[in-house]
Amino acid sequence: MISFKLEKKTFEENLSMEKFFDKKLETAEFPIVKHNTLVESSYDLSPVPNNIMTIAMTKARQSNVSCELWNGEVIISAQEYAKIHKVSLDDAYKVLKRAVLELEETKIICDAYYDFSNGEVVPEIPPNLTDISFFSESILASKPKHGKFSKMKLHIRLVQKIGYSDTGSFIYLKFSDDILHLIKNATNPDALDYTQYDYANTIELNTTPAKRLYELVCKWRKVGNCRKQVDEWKILFGVFAKYPNVAEFKRRVLQPAINQVNEQGEFKLILEQEKLGRAITHFNIVIEEQMVTENPVQSTEFFAKASNVNLFESLSETERQTVKATADRYIAKNRIDDETHKRNIYKKAINERWGLLEVDAQQQEYQKQAEEVKKKLEADRLSKLEKQQEVLRKEQESKQFVQLFESLDLVFQIEVLDRVRNLIATEVPVFLKIFDKENDKRSAHTDIRFRSYFKRIMAIE
């Protein structure tokens, strides 16, 4: 008989958890506070799981539950995610469910410090020390002030368990104790080892490398640059083994992430590279903060009224959001405050389909590929049909020949067979035994291998 041991919670804990689960995020306008260990850690997540991790940490930090009572549990509803990212409820739950399943197996690799100040100092760290809990007294997330420590790499799980509800349209996760420790410490207003930014600033960043680079830039913004060895950059993005070639990593991962952050408008990032001979050893990102005025929130109704209504209605909802987001970035970048000027910008954006050129080009490419596939399928079908018709033609031709030969006078058949035998003996004597064997069975004239010789003797084209 299987039995389950349930954790006992006090009435106060249950009451606090109810308040915690009632806490909902309604918009993307909320602050993110992450320990620098997480900002600099190595992992490879898809964009939505990365969003969930960030949102869950914020819900925990902003909840009404005290750090002493909270045990790492978080619920995120499809309604919340839909409001934050402006997607439908159905789409929100689908991506949430896929994302939380990805989080189940996620591990991160981060820097940690083994503190020897309370014990005997040993020269080397045993390899099994990474199993020690991150919130232990010995392993620290931040570099201690004294010198009795050794830096180490710590492999930890992101979550202990996950869950989802198809009927309730929400997901559940419980952070691991190590991550829980870092989240709880974020409530300390004097903590210097935490990076803060607004979640809304990451909405338009649609790849995880871009989102992670933005966090890293926020951490190093006061310093003005972030310099790492090439392998350290690869490890940060979790693609060390995927891109052994430096140029490919730069082209596929680092440069696209920099481009997205630059397009967001808050920072201007400049990529510098250092070489030893011909080999690139380091990438340094210079960080310049853009002097942009506060971006006013423009409603969809204002956007629709300001633009050509007929053209506006001809666009899909996704296309409208793309055009509006492109126009908003232009307005913010050029510090346009005049309402009439803004309306003209929106009209121009709609008329010229701002931001949709790449989408249109992609659709044209898809259509071109679809046409090529159709043509290939049609060519394959015709080729197959021609082969089938050729087989039928040869079968019919063979049947007609056999009928013709068998309709001849017996004496003439024997004469033809003798002359075919002599021809084979002269030209291909190796086939003579086979011919004689088939002739004994009175089937030589049906064998396709001898058909050309029969036709030559019988003067058949």
Ordered structural domains, the chain, with CATH:
9-111+154-191 (1.10.10.10), 204-291 (1.10.10.10), 300-355 (no CATH), 408-461 (no CATH)
CA–CA gap between residue 227 and residue 388 (Å, rounded): 66
Cβ neighbourhood burial of 244 (10 Å; 0-12, 13-18, 19+): exposed
CA–CA gap between residue 240 and residue 429 (Å, rounded): 68
Count Cα neighbours of 9 within 13 Å in the Cβ-side half-sphere: 12
CA–CA gap between residue 241 and residue 214 (Å, rounded): 23
CA–CA gap between residue 19 and residue 41 (Å, rounded): 32
CA distances for 283 relative to 183, 231, 234, 458, 459, angstroms: 30, 10, 11, 84, 82
Mean per-residue pLDDT, 222-232: 91
pLDDT tens, residue by residue, 13-71: 444 444 445 567 888 888 888 888 899 999 989 999 999 999 998 887 766 555 555 67
Cα dihedral sign, 393-398-404-406: negative
CA 23 to chain CA centroid, Å, is 30
Q: Which two tokens stand for residue 73?
A: 């549990």
Residue 314: which pLDDT band, with cuts at 50, 70 and 90?
Answer: low
**pLDDT of res. 350:** 77
Closest CA to 260 of 298, 220, 219, 203: 203
pLDDT tens, residue by residue, 180-218: 888 876 655 445 678 888 899 999 999 999 999 999 999
Among 35-49, 81-95, 142-156, the least confident range: 142-156
**pLDDT of res. 67:** 52
**pLDDT of res. 68:** 54
SS3 46: coil
Residue type, 311: L
CA–CA gap between residue 408 and residue 390 (Å, rounded): 27
**pLDDT of res. 9:** 45
Residue 138: which pLDDT band, with cuts at 50, 70 and 90?
Answer: confident
pLDDT tens, residue by residue, 360-403: 666 677 677 778 878 888 888 888 889 999 989 989 988 998 99
pLDDT tens, residue by residue, 444-456: 989 989 989 998 8
Cα dihedral sign, 116-122-123-127: negative
Residues 6+ apart with CB under 8 A from 300: 320, 324
Contact 82, 89 (CB under 8 A): yes
Top-ranked range on mean pLDDT: pick from 94-103, 115-124, 365-374: 94-103
- Answer yes or no: is pLDDT of 89 > 80: yes
**pLDDT of res. 65:** 56
**pLDDT of res. 186:** 63
Q: Cβ atoms within 10 A of the Cβ of 183, count?
A: 22
pTM of the model: 0.58
Residue 77: which pLDDT band, with cuts at 50, 70 and 90?
Answer: very high
* Torsion angle of the four alpha carbons 246, 251, 252, 256, in this order, in degrees rounded to the nearest 10: 130
DSSP 277: T
